Amino acid sequence: MIRRPRRVVLATLVAVVLLALSVAVAVSLIQRLVGAGQFLSYDTVAGWLHGATWNQTVVLVVGAIAAAVGLVLLLVALWPGKPVVLALAPEGEVSAGVSRQGLRTALRSTAHQVDGIESARIRLRRKSIKVFARSDRTDYDGLADVVCDTLTQRVQQIGPPSIRRVRAKLSGPKTGELR
């Protein structure tokens, strides 16, 4: 049930580089067929490539860079990202989940229900939740514990079994300092 995110930025970057190379080759070949002046001379590139040998430094460096880029792309593709959907039950039981954004929204609204909390930001980690809240009170001692207890109860109601810890940091109305 755990969906993984797509690697949009990396895929877009690779696609743009390949598109630019393809356009350069196509424009060069069209200019050669038409007989117009070429911005990238096919004869110059072909002559250089035919004259290159495997043991030239330039060929070895370009090959090493291409291999390194390919290995990095492969590792990034295989590395699992943050799950988009968090499972509500352990594997093998009921197949149900909640999106990370949905859980974040539910926890933010729960934090706003605590008396004295003006605003809250929720940061989901693999096994914990961090809450950065701002209080409208000048004396907010013990309010962080109330926020943690309230959000822990809400997490238990919603049910993601992987989240085990809730931490809260509060800041006052004027000081802006985290406590």
| Of the candidates 48, 47, 30, the residue with the CA atom closest to the CA atom of residue 39 | 30
Residue 176 has pLDDT above 50, yes or no: no
Whether residues 65 and 118 fall in one domain:
no
Angle at 147 (CA atoms; ends 144, 151), nearest 5 degrees: 140
For residues 104 and 82, is the Cβ–Cβ distance under 8 A?
Answer: no
Q: Dump pLDDT digits (tens) for 104-114.
A: 888 889 888 88
**Sign (positive or negative) of CA dihedral 138, 139, 144, 146:** negative
- Residue 129 structural domain: 85-171
Residue type, 26: A
CA distance linking residue 103 with residue 96, whole number of Å: 13
pTM as predicted: 0.56
CA distance linking residue 61 with residue 50, whole number of Å: 17
Within a domain: 1: no
For residues 111 and 117, is the Cβ–Cβ distance under 8 A?
Answer: yes
Whether residues 118 and 140 fall in one domain:
yes
What pLDDT is stored for residue 78 in this prediction? Answer: 81
Domain-terminating residue out of 60, 78, 96: 78
Count the domains in the chain: 2
The mean of the pLDDT values for the chain is 81
